Amino acid sequence: MEQTNTAVLSVRNMSMNFGGLRALSEVDLEVRQGEVVALIGPNGAGKTTFFNCITGIYTPTEGQVLAYPRDGKEKRINGMRTNLVCELGMARTFQNIRLFPSMTALENVMIGRHCRTKAGILGAILRGPGTRREEQDVVDRSYQLLKKVGLEQVANEYSRNLPYGAQRRLEIARALATDPFLLLLDEPAAGMNPQETLELKEMVIKIREEFQVSVLLIEHDMKMVMSLSDRIYVMEYGRVISTGTPAEVSADPQVIRAYLGEESDA
Amino acid sequence: MAASSILNNLKKSAIASLWLAFLTLPIMVIRVDTVEKTVTWRWMHLAYMLAGSFVLALFWHFMMDRRDRGAAARAAGTSQAASALGRVLENPKLVKPLLAMGFLVAAVFPYVFSMYQTNILISALIYVVLGLGLNITVGLAGLLDLGYVAFYAVGAYAYALLNMHFQLGFWTVLPLAAIMGAFFGLLLGFPVLRLRGDYLAIVTLGFGQIVRLVLENWSSFSQGPSGISNIARPGLFGINYSVEQATTYIYYIMLALVILTIFITARLKDSRIGRSWLALREDEIACQAMGIDNTKAKLMAFALGATLASVMGAVFAAKTTFVNPASFTFMESAMILAIVVLGGMGSVLGVILGAFLLILLPEYMRAFSEYRMLIFGATMILVMVFRPQGLIRAKRKVYKINTEAA
């Protein structure tokens, strides 16, 4: 997909306080169209809090979160309800997998289509031609998405019975089902072995091309982050301490200090 | 089964029976006659006690082993494996004749059996609908509602009061009761939107009590504990039925309502709305993050469940021609919840079976009324130990996929 300089997500000066604790402090971040942006930092730096702030789970204390959906209209989304953020086109996955365990893999993906369909109670009961067509369309599209992430064989398995790596991929498929313009991945490679991580990386690249989405991901696997992302933001103690291309960031002394600790001359 | 586990079971059973025999020794074996001043030792009783408890314990252990092996097999094998009962009910060759037979029996029932039997069946059918209604709220959407009977009361009193004051007929009130039920469902739904699990259970429990207490104490409105009597039975275009005819008539009304409810709930279960309820039950945060409006889904579940209960309330009032607050105690809520849990949360067929079991079993065990509640309780415990997912496990639909479509 063509990368342009138009932003799809622009976070300006965002802070988040939990009582007296400042979890995020004046964070600026931008994701441009077609980019893969990584957000890295030591544990507890505030990365997941950042995700929760931009997806409406938390309302940021200060600052602006602006989204630019496919129609190009700027939309301020601080404190917007989570489901509306998703409907707008920002779909996320979770650090600790949050699938619907006693629904089948296919149904999990079908849930993602919920906000793009509209059959109501009457439609469900009468099951008219319109509802049936919509339903079949949901099934077919969801199945195609399962195919894209290589899970079509287990479409009718309960998602709790899937292996860990498959669950991660299923979460991505579910997020894609909402027709997002921005995909937010919270540690997608956590708990994966190097082979799985490599496959995941290739999948993310493929998805970006095919679905024309931008990607913002939190990740600890440096090999993946460095080879996958266009730009990287590094966070520490709720602040962005460095930003730039992978090469720039990995040479930044501040980043090295944050990860490896300071040399002390004691 | 390995020999060691049989031996182990024998040992455990032997210990259990010895222990029980020892504990019951004073009451089972020793008899003191204070008039004749003699003590009789009834050693045979000890032998009965030992043998009986040994056999029971052995059987129990055997069943527990079977259950554990079944669980292991399920975990290893395919997830959608069905129970024997489920397999029978899913075999298309058997389902159709079974359904036809069931329908035939249901259709001629009031002409074959006595009015007493018909009455019992009507109340069982009422509980089927109540169970299916609560199944939407608890089984599908996962909102534990312990005050469900309040909506039942709303419907019953709606008909009773409208009939008493305005002489409105059954058919006029039925849709009104449905609307009132939905309204009360929303009324309860709004304040509890943010609650879940135990907290939700307690608030709904309170709501159920409030409705009952209001009916009990606001005498000028509801005539208090003495209730409202002489409620009109349902009529049809001005025809007045005798008691017997009316019972038959109500029976057919109930049969139609049950079929309608089954149809509605079965279709909802596998629809877009039904899936959103399931997602809500499984993981509220993920559900909302995937674009489902939690508020709407919850309110819809509450309102729909309440509507069904309220309609049943109106039928109940018409059937008994008398309502008072004593019919709407917490016991009723607990009973309906037991129907849902015992039958299988989320499973339409399971809930129907559960309702018949829990309503008809106590009814037909009046013969040994002293043990009725004992057997009833034991049945519930056994079902929960051996089939914690309920009589029939809810299964997810396997969707037909058009592979050619892009």
Query: How far apart are the C-alpha atoms of B330 and B392, rounded to whole Å?
Result: 26
Answer yes or no: are the C-beta atoms of A234 and A242 closer than 8 Å: yes
Q: Is B82 a residue whose pLDDT tops 80? A: no
B271 touches chain A (CB under 8 A): yes
Query: How far apart are the C-alpha atoms of B267 and B309, rounded to whole Å?
Result: 19
pLDDT in tens, B353-375: 999 988 888 888 777 777 777 87
Please indicate whether, in this complex, the C-beta atoms of A119 and B272 are within 8 angstroms of each other.
yes
How far off is chain A from B80, nearest CA to CA, in Å? Answer: 8
Helices (H) and strands (E) in chain A, counts: 10, 10
Answer yes or no: are the C-beta atoms of A151 and A173 closer than 8 Å: yes
Query: Which of B290, B397, B402 should one mutate to test binding to chain A, selecting the residue with the greatest count of A CBs within 10 A?
Result: B290
User: What are the structure tokens assigned to A54, written together?
Assistant: 């931009």
Model pTM score: 0.86
The predicted pLDDT at position A259 comes to 80
Query: How far apart are the C-alpha atoms of B64 and B190, rounded to whole Å?
Result: 44
Answer yes or no: are the C-beta atoms of B155 and B213 closer than 8 Å: no
B255 touches chain A (CB under 8 A): no
How far, in Å, are B31, B159, B299 from residue B319 at the CA level? 53, 11, 30
Q: Is A220 a residue whose pLDDT tops 90? A: no
pLDDT in tens, A29-58: 999 999 999 999 888 889 999 999 999 999
B77 touches chain A (CB under 8 A): no
What are the backbone angles phi and psi of residue B242, rounded to the nearest 5°?
-75, 170
E strand segments, A175-238:
182-186, 214-218, 231-236
Nearest Cα to Cα of residue B130 among B302, B380, B339: B339
Answer yes or no: are the C-beta atoms of B234 and B246 closer than 8 Å: yes
Count Cα atoms within 13 angstroms, Cβ side, for A106. Answer: 22
Q: Is A174 a residue whose pLDDT tops 90? A: yes
Q: Is B303 helix (H, G, I), strand (E, B) or coil?
A: helix
- Report the range out of B70-79, B260-269, B341-350 with the highest average pLDDT: B260-269
Please indicate whether, in this complex, the C-beta atoms of B286 and A100 are within 8 angstroms of each other.
yes
Q: Is B151 a residue whose pLDDT tops 90? A: yes
Burial string for B233-268 (b: 16+ CB within 10 Å, else e) reads: bbeeeeeeeeeeebbbbbbebbbebbeebbebbebb
- Spell out the domains of chain A, with CATH numbers in brackets: 1-89+180-266 (3.40.50.300), 102-179 (no CATH)
User: What are the structure tokens assigned to A150, written together?
Assistant: 């290589």
The predicted pLDDT at position B41 comes to 87
Would you list the domain boundaries of chain B? 3-76, 89-386
The predicted pLDDT at position A121 comes to 86
User: Could you report the predicted ipTM of this complex, rounded to two decimals?
Assistant: 0.90
* Helix runs in B218-347, H state only: 219-222, 243-269, 272-282, 284-289, 294-320, 330-343
pLDDT in tens, B190-246: 988 888 788 999 999 999 999 999 999 999 988 889 999 988 888 776 667 788 888
pLDDT in tens, B260-273: 999 999 999 889 99
pLDDT in tens, B390-399: 888 877 778 8
Please indicate whether, in this complex, the C-beta atoms of B396 and A158 are within 8 angstroms of each other.
yes
